[in-house]
Amino acid sequence: MSSTETSVDPQVAYNLITKNLQEVLNPQIIKNVLEVEKRPLKLYWGTAPTGKPHCGYFVPMTKLAHFLKAGCEVTVLVADLHAFLDNMKAPLEVVNYRAKYYELTIKSILRSINVPIEKLKFVLGSSYELTPEYTLDVFKLANIVSQNDAKRAGADVVKQVANPLLSGLIYPLMQALDEEYLKVDAQFGGVDQRKIFVLAEENLPSLGYKKRAHLMNPMVPGLGQGGKMSASDPNSKIDLLEEPNVVKKKINSAFCSPGNVEDNGLLSFIEFVVSPIQELKYGEDHFSFFIDRPEKFGGPITYTSLAELKQDFKEEKLSPPDLKIGVTAAINELLAPIREEFASNPEFQEAEKKGYPVEVKVKKTKKPKNKGTRYPGTQKQEQSAANSKEATVEKVAELIEKTSI
């Protein structure tokens, strides 16, 4: 039976697939599938279930919406082993819950922006990455990729630490192999994945596998100065389950200097999140941004184009506090259905509770003697790693205790 997905015109599909992207590597691979083979494009987006997904996740979600609308067969890889391999950001004890939390969050975001998700496939990395075939392929790649190239490939993705672990070199090799094992034509990700994408293109053919196309989203700035989203600065990102008053507080503390439209995370949020979601919901060129501005500053205003909003901000006709009023309302509107789903879904709540157990105070372990077996200067780092490992074990132990009674 012919399905609707094959009926999308190849040119229309290609434009949707590449809409708003920063870069596409090997576009001819995509065109060939659509125009010559005349079948749906198969692609995947990978995410490692580390920290909690934040508002930045709306950005790849709008792309997943475009891919699905273009009739693509889309897979979301919840890369649990990658979350473990990236400096143990997700310890094995909690990674299953985090993977569940990511899946439920991603589905919830997509539902909240009216994206049909019946055709979206979720795959857990560990479901195939521990097979003998995959392992042998990792070893084969390890025999053709230099340490230097593997290190460089991961430089923008794997957390950079003073004493880098071997796991950081395995990470890019596995991401390259995922393309083959997920049987896709293309991989989608942020432009920060570029070096890994190139490593995959350069090395998969040596194993007898095809080279894939790569689709890259721009990096969207956070709320801090210089647009940084930093794990250590909780104000630089907004959790998807954040309470409305916390959203307000975080937006109010966002860097936003009068007349500066270049370094402005709030305007970027409108451009990269609010606007594409409105287009998805109401069609091309739809833009409407309401600001409940106090009467003394000109009263409520609705902008019907982003350019107009930016221009007013640039000319200081729109002030930072007023822009913040509009963005706070927009974010709270986007988050409301996700919060509601969380509140009504016990599985979602359990995944959050067990995936992200609350920090407990731990006693510091005694500093071990420097036996001189490693490089100087690594002691401190190892000690803090030991402490955080112990903290995790304690956290998990406490969790098990709590949940088993």
Which residues in this chain contact ligand STL in the complex, by CB under 6 A?
46-48, 50, 77, 79, 82, 175, 178, 190
Q: Closer to ligand STL at the Cβ: 181 or 287?
A: 181
Write down the least CB distance from residue 175 to ligand STL, Å: 4
Query: Smallest distance from the beta carbon of 177 to ligand STL, in angstroms?
Result: 8
Answer whether 187's CB lies under 8 Å from 197's CB: yes
Whether residue 240 contacts residue 335, with contact meaning beta carbons closer than 8 Å, is answered with: yes
Residues 6+ apart with CB under 8 A from 237: 54, 55, 56, 222, 223, 229
Nearest-CB residue for ligand STL: 46
**Residues with Cβ within 8 Å of residue 13, at least 6 apart in sequence:** 34, 41, 70, 71, 72
Q: Pick the closer one to ligand STL by CB: 150 or 318.
A: 150
Nearer to ligand STL (CB atom), residue 112 or residue 126? 126
Q: How far is the CB of 82 from ligand STL (least distance, A)?
A: 4
Q: Which is nearer to ligand STL, 44 or 348 (CB)?
A: 44
Residue closer to ligand STL, measured from CB, 82 or 248: 82
The nearer residue to ligand STL, 193 or 332, going by C-beta atoms, is 193
Cβ closest to ligand STL, residue 184 vs residue 351 = 184
What is the smallest separation between the CB atom of 238 and ligand STL, expressed in angstroms?
Answer: 16
Q: CB of residue 190 vs ligand STL: minimum separation in angstroms?
A: 6
CB of 148 to ligand STL, least distance (A): 21
φ/ψ (deg, to 5) at 125: -50, -45
For the bound state, the minimum distance from the C-beta of residue 21 to ligand STL, rounded and expressed in Å, comes to: 15
